[in-house]
Amino acid sequence: MHFLNKLRTNRIVLTSCSLLMISFVLMTGANAQKGSEALPDEVLTKDLVSATGPTFRVADQEIPKHWTLIAYGDLRFTDPTNEKVTNPKVRRWLVNQVASEKPDAILLSGDVPYSGNVVNDYEVYHQETAPWRDAKLRVYPAMGNHELHGDEAREPKNWWNAFPELKSRRWYSVEMRDAYIITLDSNLSLLEGSRQNAWLVDQLAHLPKTAKFVFFSLHHPPVADSILDDHSHDVRPNEHALALLLEKQAAVSKAKIIVIAGHIHNYERFLENDVTYLVSGGGGAKPYPIARTPADKFQDPAFPNYHYIKFVFDGKALKATMERVQDPAAATPTYEVKDTFEVPATK
C-alpha cells in the first residue's frame, strides 16, 4: 500500500489516503503485535484514564532551580545471556552512569523490555535498575512497540505491574518546576478524533504559565532520517500529524518544545519550525546505521551510538549533551560528549 511520499527530512505527505486508511494502518500495524488480534483504537482506549490537567505534580521544593533531566530509550531489558538483540553490558553501564548523574527525572522513550509478554524481562529491568531506586530517581516511561507483544497488545498488564502508578493509563503528564512532561503512546492513534489527541489538545491549551519547556516523550519519531537501506522505521502518518500539531503550538507558545523519541537505535537531532526533535534509541538495543540527510544537525560518523541525552537548565537556557559510550567493546566504560546544543528559555 504505497500512499506516502517521503520528503528530504523524512517528513511525509498524504496523497490519496483518507483518515480511515490511516486508522487502518495504525490498527493493523502498530497494534498488531505477535500473537494478538488487532483491535481498533477506540476499543483499546475506551477504558483508559484520560483526565484534564497534569497527571502528576512534583512539588517545587523537591526540585532544584537548576534541574537535570535525562532521556533515552530502546534499552530492551531481557535475559542477560541474550547478546543478539541487545548489549547487556552496555545497557548496565548506561543505567549505572545515569544513576551517577542524579537527575531530577528520567524519560524512557519505550522498548524498555525486549518482549512485554515475558514477565522475566521486567524482572531484569527491576534488577538492573536497582541503582535508580537506591538513588530515589523519578522514572517516566513511554510505551514502545516491544511492550505490546502477545496479549499485552490488548491490555498491557505486565507494563502496569512494572509501573503501578500508571495503572489504566497509556498517556500522562508531569508538572515539574519550569518543565512540563507529556508522555504519549504512539502505538495508539494521535490523529484528530482519537481520545489521545483530544487529551493532548487539552493539555496544550492549559499548559502551566510557569512552564518554560515542554518535553514530549514517545516511541515512534515524528521527524527522523531512515535506517541505512531500510525503510521499516520511517516516519508514519500518526507521528507526522503530531509534528504538525506541535509546530502550530510552537508558533504561539512561550514554552519551548522538545520531542524525544526512540525506535531507531541511534541518535539524530533536528530543528523544525522552532521544535527540537531528537531520536535517542541508544539504550542498549542492537544499533542501526543511519542514512543521514543534511537536515540532521548531528553529522558525526561515529557508530554505534549507545548513549543518553542530558539536559541541564541553568536558569536561562536548557543545555543539552549527548553522552556516548566511547568503546562498547572495552572491559570498563568510558564516556564522551558527542553532541551539544542549547534551547534558550523565553523571557
How many C-beta atoms lie closer than 10 Å to residue 268's C-beta?
Answer: 25
305 within 8 A of 324, measured Cβ to Cβ: yes
Look up residue 254 and give its three cell numbers.
512561550
pLDDT value at residue 346? 84
Residue whose C-alpha is closest to residue 71's, from 50, 116, 101: 101
Domains and CATH numbers, the chain: 4-344 (3.60.21.10)
297 neighbors 308 (Cβ within 8 angstroms): no
The Cα–Cα gap between 29 and 23 comes to 10
What pLDDT score was predicted for residue 38? Answer: 72
At residue 35, the pLDDT reads 39
pLDDT digits (tens, 9 = 90+) for 293-322: 999 999 999 999 999 999 999 999 999 999
- pLDDT tens per residue across span 136-187: 999 999 999 999 999 999 999 999 999 999 999 999 999 999 999 999 999 9
Q: Which residues contact 96 (CB under 8 A, 6 or more apart)?
A: 131
Q: What is the pLDDT of residue 36?
A: 41
Strands 4-6 and 12-14: antiparallel
CB of 315 within 8 A of CB of 252? no
- Residue 267 burial (10 A CB sphere; 0-12, 13-18, 19+): buried
Q: What is the pLDDT of residue 39?
A: 86
Please list the rounded mean pLDDT of every run of 10 residues in the chain (347 residues): 33 37 40 55 95 97 97 98 98 98 98 98 98 98 98 96 98 98 98 98 97 98 98 98 98 97 98 98 98 98 98 97 98 98 91
Q: What is the pLDDT of residue 149?
A: 97
